A and B are shown apart, each in its own frame.
Chain A
Amino acid sequence: MAVNNSRRRLVSNLMTGATLVAALLAVIPLFAILVHLIYKGASSIDLQFFIKNPAAPGALGGGVANAIMGSAIIVGATAGIALPIGVGAGVYLNEYGKGRFGWMVGFVADVMNGTPSIIVGVFVWTLLVRPMGHFSALAGSVALSILVIPMVTRTTEDMLALVPNSLREAALALGYSRARTSLTIVVRTAWPGITTGILVAIARVTGETAPLLFTALGNLNFKTDIMQPMQTLSLQVYVYATGPFPEWHRLAWGAALVLVMLVFVFGLVARFATKTKYHAR
């Protein structure tokens, strides 16, 4: 009996240790990636890197000014298209969507969240690029919007669900209309949480590459016309990383470092925005 017990305790300790090892193994790639990004990327980053456009293939130097501008324009346009729709759909789901239609919308949003982004690129190509006859930053923004809408829909709904019903009842009892209650009481109370969800979604699509390959396409020049092909940081990393020149590989690490820092900054801001009194579940 005693022997049996010590064996059971040994198994228990071994398995506990195994889960600890799994946790350590899981965080190794994160550090490996971050260390390489900083080690190889930081040396490429100087002032030139931010204010110059890519050099001719094979030439030394060059920067990512066009890509940074392009990312800002494309992601900005994405926010303009997707946020009203996503937040609106989330408000619908929480305020009215308790029936079968609401369930269906929520379920479809979940499934769309898992849809490969490259497929969205193909869809927008057939929808916009082919009829218009050319690639454009706008098509890229539409593709990214299709990724953002379901994400924002779901987080908005989740955040609104955290608002205590007593607040809603109090507003209605004071004679507020449903619309005014929803907008000025419920949405406003949940706004910090919704902002977090928005920032997380924006951070995710800032790093997206696949849906932009045949919508925004990429551009080696500095462009601000949303109807023309445009570069983004993510596309720039892809082009530089898969190109044949060592100089490009060096710039790829620099661009990747800038991209990851941008994404992480969005994430950090999101984390601080969440600190609201209704966050605790």
Chain B
Amino acid sequence: MTDPTPDAPRTTSRSVGGDLVFRATVTAAAAIVPLLMAALFIQLALGAWPTIKEFGLRFLYTSTWDPVAEIYGAAPMILGTLVSSIVALLIAIPLSLGVAIFLTEFAPQRLRGPIATMVELLAAIPSVVYGLWGIFVLIPVLRTLVVPVLSAVLGWTPFFSGNFQGNSMLAAGIILSIMILPYISSVAREVIRAVPDSQREAALALGATRWEAVWSAVLPYCSGGILGAIVLGLGRALGETMAVTMVIGNRHDIGVSLLEPGYSMAAAIANEFAEAASTLHLSALAEIGLVLFVITVLVNSFARLLVWRVTRKFGAT
């Protein structure tokens, strides 16, 4: 480090040098984040290359998965991931938006903190514990209480036909809905809170009831952000691994009934990766990982942009 002003006290030149070192250090730390992301993508793509070359797009829509004959098609897993996530969203959306609206608009001040904390604690419970609870508590409850009712009322539809086998799409979807609920509700709360109070006051002043104020003046204002919250929840559900692996049943077939076992992309990787012996089997699992990665990156980017636009619009963080 040469000192451009020899007259300046020594400490200055040392601190300028120190500044540069400090800045270089933290910049390097920051650069690691995008580098990791790029390395993740490149490694997965390299790992998946043998199956991409061998099967091309057929990998995505065929359903034979035979490690002995070395034929791989991931359609059952891709479909299973989508179906279990959609079931989860159908349950979680009304509940989590209800919680978010209750906590921001209606709940007495004293209740807001405790209820918010309890809902957020759901996000702190490890996935494997959800799986444990799913196996030994949720599935028996579904078998004795819920499924008989579902079969009686909706058994005529293909979605609830057949026998309940315990491990099933339905169990996976319900577990997932509990797991994504805190994520959706906390982001939804954030965006609802970002709506300026003048919106609510204007609606109430015009004679709207409290619900009408929420419905017609608050929610339309932050609908983009609410959609973002839901899409973030979808991103969580798509990639959730342990709990799903433990209750979905791990079946390599495409079934319509939610009462039957299924499979998901993350569960396939979790079950088979450590035992995969051949290059092509490993590669097939890496390609499933690559597809899952690309889907979740797209879903999360879209969600982030939506939430970011709403919270920025009102100048809140």
Task: Give Cα distance in the complex from A107 to B302, angstroms.
Answer: 11
What is the predominant secondary structure among interface residues of chain A facing chain B?
helix
Q: Which A residue's beta carbon lies closest to that of B118? A: A27
Contact A89 B131 (CB under 8 A): no
Contact A115 B293 (CB under 8 A): yes
Residues A110-137 near B (CB distance < 8 A)? 110-123, 125-127
Taking CB atoms, residues of chain A closer than 8 Å to B27 are 92, 96
- Which listed residue, A122, A213, A253, touches B47 by the CB 8 Å rule? A122
Q: Which A residue's beta carbon lies closest to that of B274? A: A214
- Which listed residue, B122, B135, B241, touches A241 by the CB 8 Å rule? B135
Contact B15 A123 (CB under 8 A): no
A93 in the interface (beta carbon within 8 A): yes
Query: How many B residues touch A, CB cutoff 8 Å?
Result: 91
Contact A146 B29 (CB under 8 A): no
Taking CB atoms, residues of chain A closer than 8 Å to B105 are 19
- Which listed residue, A22, A97, A179, touches B95 by the CB 8 Å rule? A22
User: Which of A42-50, A190-198, A220-228, A256-264 forms contacts with chain B?
Assistant: A256-264
Task: Give Cα distance in the complex from A113 to B187, angstroms.
Answer: 14
Task: Give Cα distance in the complex from A23 to B99, angstroms.
Answer: 5
Taking CB atoms, residues of chain A closer than 8 Å to B215 are 15
Q: Which B residue's beta carbon lies closest to that of A203? A: B124
Task: Give Cα distance in the complex from A203 to B126, angstroms.
Answer: 9
A173 in the interface (beta carbon within 8 A): no
For the side of the interface on A, what is the size category?
A: 35 or more
Contact B95 A25 (CB under 8 A): yes
Per-residue B-contact encoding for A77-95, CB less than 8 Å = 1, 0 else: 0000000111111011101
Contact A22 B102 (CB under 8 A): yes
Taking CB atoms, residues of chain B closer than 8 Å to A281 are 317
> Closest CB of chain B to A2's CB: distance in Å?
14
Contact B22 A182 (CB under 8 A): yes
**Beyond A36-B136, A122-B269, A125-B273, 12 additional pairs, beta carbon < 8 A:** A12-B209, A23-B107, A33-B137, A104-B34, A115-B239, A119-B269, A149-B32, A161-B317, A177-B19, A179-B18, A259-B128, A281-B317
Q: What are 18 contact pairs spanning A and B, CB under 8 A?
A: A9-B209, A30-B121, A32-B133, A85-B29, A88-B30, A89-B30, A101-B30, A111-B304, A118-B269, A121-B269, A122-B286, A123-B44, A177-B15, A207-B124, A214-B273, A238-B242, A242-B246, A259-B128
Query: What are the 4 A-B residue pairs with the smallest beta carbon separation, nearest first?
Result: A22-B98, A116-B239, A207-B126, A88-B29
